[in-house]
Amino acid sequence: MVLIFDCDGVLVDSEALACEIDAQILTEIGLPYQAQDIARKFVGVSFKDMVARLEAEHGCTLPADLGSQIDRALFAKFETHLKPIEGVRETILSLPYPRCVASSSTPDRIALSLQITGLSDLFDHVFSATQVARGKPAPDLFLHAAAQMGTCPEDCIVIEDSAAGVQGALAAGMRVIGFAGGSHCGPEHAEMLQQAGACVVIGRMTDLHPFKEFLTRLDKRRPSRT
């Protein structure tokens, strides 16, 4: 059994910060967005796919340095505001399974997030959507992670906070635990993850402690790869 953790909103409480910065920068370049709009439409989606969707929706070409603009502002915000999800370190250390990270973020952003929050030492294997052709909700990143970890998709459990992530993991033939404990999650977030196909939804990372119970429940609901 291999545990595959998303990063933003699962390991680190970054999504609210990222949505705020994305909305700020997009508004500055003439595409007015609120943070809640970004959260609703783009949480869990790679930057490349977000840009493609924005350009298609608005009939425009976004600045070539948009990613750099966002990263500069976001990384500065991370340095002063980013925190780990409550209880995540202790929970991960309590689970006797191989683990890795599979995130839509860039390698630099993942590395900085884990470093600032003191989680870097927990993961020897970190995978980014930049390493595959298609980001979430496509299955590519999860299949890549499973292959690199030397296991089959059916023996992976993914912990995700976004509908795109849940859908991508299911498409890869994996089981998914939805996480609705990040600061960006509203009262409807758990239901959204359930509707996306998560087998179980938890509101606190410490809910992963009784993991044998989850495995028993999830083993009865092994998905078929689509």
pLDDT score of 101 more than 60? yes
139-184 pLDDT, tens digit each: 999 999 999 999 999 999 999 999 999 999 999 999 999 999 999 9
Q: What is the mean pLDDT of residues 113-136?
A: 97
Per-residue confidence (pLDDT) for residue 226, from 0 to 100: 46
What CATH number was assigned to the domain covering residues 15-81?
1.10.150.240
Per-residue confidence (pLDDT) for residue 40, from 0 to 100: 85
211 closest CA partner among 123, 122, 96:
96
Q: What is the mean pLDDT of residues 117-132?
A: 97
CA dihedral 189, 191, 193, 195 (to 10 degrees): -140
pLDDT score of 212 more than 60? no
The residue with tokens 């998560």 is 198
Whole-angstrom distance, CA of residue 51 vs CA of residue 140: 19
CB 190 within 8 A of CB 203: yes
Residue 158's DSSP bridge partners are 4, 176
Positive/negative CA dihedral, 206, 138, 52, 104: positive
What phi and psi values does residue 179 have, to the nearest 5 degrees?
-120, 120
The residue with tokens 């991370």 is 78
pLDDT score of 222 more than 90? no
Do you find a cis peptide bond into 137, omega within 30 degrees of 0? Answer: yes
More confident position, 97 or 125: 125
Please state the domain extents for the chain.
Answer: 2-13+83-219, 15-81
Per-residue DSSP letter, 8: B
Per-residue confidence (pLDDT) for residue 13, from 0 to 100: 97
Residue 61 zone, left/alpha/beta (φ > 0; ψ -120 to 50; rest): beta
35-92 pLDDT, tens digit each: 989 988 898 888 999 999 999 999 999 999 999 999 999 999 999 999 999 999 999 9
Percent of the chain with pLDDT over 70: 92
Whole-angstrom distance, CA of residue 108 vs CA of residue 71: 9
164 closest CA partner among 214, 108, 104:
104
Name the CATH superfamily, with its identifier, for domain 2-13+83-219.
HAD superfamily/HAD-like (3.40.50.1000)
Whole-angstrom distance, CA of residue 158 vs CA of residue 169: 7
Q: Can you tell me whether residue 103 is helix, strand or coil?
A: strand
pLDDT score of 200 more than 80? yes
Per-residue confidence (pLDDT) for residue 215, from 0 to 100: 57
